[in-house]
Structure 1
Amino acid sequence: MARENDIDIRQWVLLLFVVLLGAGLTWSATSESIRSARAEAQSSFNAAADLYVDRVKGALTHGLDAASDLYSYYAAKEDIDHATFQRLISSYSSLNEHRKMVGVAIAATRDTMGELEAYAQGRYPGDFSLRAAQDLVGASESGVPGSRDQRAFYLLYVWAPSEERSQRWRGADIGAYMPLNAFLEETLAKGEPAAIPMPPLETADRSCVLLATPFVSQAGAEGVILQILEMPNLLNTVASSQRFSSLNARFTSSWQGGAMVQEMMIIDGTFSYEAFPPPAARPWIASYTVEIGSQSWTIEPWAPYEAYAVDYGATVITASVCLVLTGLVVFIVWSQTQRAKRVVEIVNRRTRALKEAHDELEDHYRMLQNLNKDVEEARKSAETANRAKSEFLATMSHELRTPLNAILGFSQILQEQALGPLGDKRYADYARDINASGSHLLAIINDILDLAKLEAGKIQIEQKRLSTHLLVDRVIALLAQQASNKGIELKAEFAGNMPDHILGDELRLRQILINLGSNAIKFTNQGTVVFRLHPRAFATGQAGWVLEVEDTGIGIPEDKQATLFDRFTQVDAALSRRHGGVGLGLAICRELVDHMEGTISVRSIQNVGTTIRVHLPLMEADPETDDDGMI
Structure 2
Amino acid sequence: MARDSDIDFRQWVLLLFVVLLGGGLTWSATSESVRSAQAEARASFNAAADLYADRVKGALSHGLDAASDLYSYYEATEEIDHVTFQRLISSYSSLNEHRKMVGVAVAATPDTVGALEAYAKEHYPGEFSLRGAGDVVGSSESGRPGSGAQRAFYMLYVWALNEDRAERWRGVDIGAYTPLNAFLEETLEKGQPAAIPMPPLETEDRSCVLLATPFVSQVGVDGVIIQILDMPKLLDEVASSQRFSRLNARFSSSWRGGAMVQDMMIIDGTFSPETFPPPAAKPWIASYEVAIGGQMWQVQPWAPYEAYRIDYGAAVITASVCLIMTGLVVFIVWSQSQRAKRVVDIVNRRTRALKEAHDELEDHYRMLQNLNKDVEEARKSAETANRAKSEFLATMSHELRTPLNAILGFSQILQEQALGPLGDKRYAEYAKDINASGSHLLAIINDILDLAKLEAGKIQIEQKRLSSRLLVDRVIALLVQQASNKGIELKAEFAMNMPDHILGDELRLRQILINLGSNAIKFTNQGTVVFRLHPRPFATGQAGWILEVEDTGIGIPEEKQATLFDRFTQVDAALSRRHGGVGLGLAICRELVDHMEGAISVRSIPNVGTTIRVHLPLMEADPETDDDGMI
Give the structure-1-normalised TM-score: 0.53
The Cα shift of 1:155 comes to 0.3
Structure 2: distance between partners of 1:207 and 1:142: 16
Distance between the aligned counterparts of 1:288 and 1:108, measured in 2?
A: 37
Match of 2:70 in 1: 70
Whether 2:340 is the aligned partner of 1:315: answer no
**Alpha carbons of 1:140 and 1:81: their partners in 2 closer, same or farther (altered >3 Å)?**
farther
SS at match of 1:330: helix
Note if contact 1:137-1:143 (Cα within 8 Å) is conserved in structure 2. no
The superposition leaves residues 169-215 of structure 1 with CA deviations (integer Å, 9 ceiling, x where unpaired) of 00000000000000000000000000000011111100000000000
State the distance in 2 between where 1:137 and 1:212 align.
21
- Residue 251 of structure 1 contacts residue 299 of structure 1 at CA under 8 Å; is this kept in 2? yes
Q: Determine if the alignment matches structure 1 residue 106 to structure 2 residue 106.
A: yes
After TM superposition, give the deviation of residue 5 of structure 1 in Å. Answer: 2.3
2:42 matched residue in structure 1: 42
The AA in structure 2 aligned to 1:229 is L
Structure 2: segments with no counterpart, 5+ residues? 345-631
State whether structure 2 residue 196 is matched by structure 1 residue 209. no
Counterpart CA distance in 1 for 2:266 and 2:224 is 27
Distance across 2 between alignment mates of 1:340 and 1:188: 92
Partner-residue secondary structure (3-state), 1:107: strand
Contact between 1:139 and 1:202, CA under 8 Å: does it hold in 2?
no
* Corresponding position of 1:55: 55
Look up the equivalent residue of 1:237 and give its one-letter code.
Answer: E
Specify the SS of the correspondent of 1:53.
helix
- Quote the Cα distance in structure 2 between the aligned partners of 1:334 and 1:174: 86
Quick one: distance in 1 between partners of 2:164 and 2:141? 20
1: CA distance between counterparts of 2:253 and 2:111? Answer: 33
Native 8 Å contact 1:197 1:251 kept in 2: yes
Change (3 A) 1:342 1:315: farther
Corresponding residue for residue 499 of structure 1: none
Using the alignment, how far apart are the partners of 2:87 and 2:111 within structure 1?
32
Distance 1:220 1:309, change over 3 A: same
Q: How far apart in 2 are the matches of 1:133 and 1:67?
A: 24
In 2, the alpha carbon distance for the partners of 1:132 and 1:39 equals 55
Structure 2 residue 345 is matched with structure 1 residue 332: no
Distance 2:131 2:323 in 1: 80
Partner of 2:187: 187
Counterpart of 2:155 in 1: which secondary structure?
strand
Structure 2 SS opposite 1:278: coil
Aligned partner of 1:90: which letter? Answer: S
Residue 152 of structure 2 corresponds to which residue in structure 1?
A: 152
Is contact 1:137–1:177 with CA below 8 Å preserved after alignment? Answer: no
In structure 2, C-alpha distance between the alignment counterparts of 1:285 and 1:342, rounded to whole Å: 64
Superposed structure 1 runs of 4+ greater than 2 Å apart: 1-5, 136-142, 339-344
Deviation at residue 139 of structure 1 after TM alignment: 4.8
Q: Given residue 339 of structure 2, which amino acid in structure 1 is its aligned partner?
A: R
Q: Could you say which residue in structure 2 is the equivalent of 1:272?
A: 272
Of 173-182 and 123-132, more deviation after overlay is shown by: 123-132
Using the TM superposition, name which of 258-267 and 21-30 deviates more: 21-30
In the other structure, the counterpart of 1:168 is 168
Counterpart position of 1:501? none
Offset of residue 133 of structure 1: 3.9
Q: CA deviation at 1:142?
A: 5.6
Cα distance in 2, alignment partners of residues 303 and 342 from structure 1: 64
Deviations 1:371-401 (A, max 9, x none): xxxxxxxxxxxxxxxxxxxxxxxxxxxxxxx
Counterpart for residue 601 of structure 1: none
C-alpha displacement of 1:341: 5.7
Shift of 1:6: 1.4
> Retained in 1: the 8 A contact 2:89–2:159?
yes
**CA contact 1:136–1:173 (8 Å) conserved in 2:** no
Partner residue of 1:11?
A: 11
How far did 1:103 drift? 0.3
Residue correspondence of structure 1 range 126-525 to structure 2 within 5 A: 126-136=126-136, 138-141=138-141, 143-339=143-339
Q: CA separation of 1:279/1:342 partners in 2, compared to 1, >3 Å: closer, same or farther?
A: farther
**What is the rounded CA distance, in whole Å, between the counterparts of 2:279 and 2:343 in structure 1?**
64
Query: Is the 8 Å Cα contact of residues 133 and 142 (structure 2) preserved in structure 1?
Result: no
Distance 1:21 1:340, change over 3 A: closer
- Kindly report the root-mean-square deviation, in angstroms, between the aligned alpha carbons of the 2 structures: 1.5
Q: Is the 8 A contact 2:134 2:142 kept in 1?
A: no
Paired residue secondary structure (2:227) = strand
In 1, Cα distance between equivalents of 2:144 and 2:340: 96
Query: Which is higher, the Rg of structure 1 or of structure 2?
Result: 2
The one-letter code sitting in structure 1 at the alignment partner of 2:223 is G
What secondary structure is seen at the aligned counterpart in 2 of 1:52? helix
Provide the residue aligned with 1:92 in structure 2: 92
Whole-Å Cα distance in 1 between the matches of residues 330 and 246 of structure 2? 47
Distance 2:136 2:188 in 1: 22
**Which secondary structure state, in structure 2, belongs to the residue aligned with residue 141 of structure 1?**
helix
Task: Pick closer, same or farther for the CA change 1:117–1:331 going to 2, 3 Å.
Answer: same
Cα 1:141/1:334, change in 2 over 3 Å: same
Q: Quick one: distance in 2 between partners of 1:27 and 1:342?
A: 36
8 Å Cα contact 2:183-2:256 kept in structure 1: yes
Q: Residues of 1 paired with 2:231 and 2:266: CA distance?
A: 8
What is the one-letter code of the residue matched to 2:49?
A
Q: Quick one: distance in 2 between partners of 1:269 and 1:62?
A: 21
The aligned amino acid for 1:143 is: G
Count, aligned residues: 344
Percent identity over the alignment? 80
- Residue 26 of structure 1: how far off its partner (Å): 1.4
Distance 2:96 2:289 in 1: 27
Matches of 1:340 and 1:271, distance apart in 2: 75
* Amino acid in structure 2 at the alignment position of 1:210: L
Instruction: Tell me by how many angstroms 1:289 deviates.
Output: 0.6
Secondary structure class of the residue paired with 2:132: coil
Q: Which residue of 2 aligns with 1:496?
A: none
* CA–CA separation in structure 1 for the residues paired with 2:137 and 2:221: 24
Structure 2: how far apart are the matches of 1:310 and 1:288?
23
Q: Which amino acid is the alignment partner of residue 148 of structure 2?
A: R
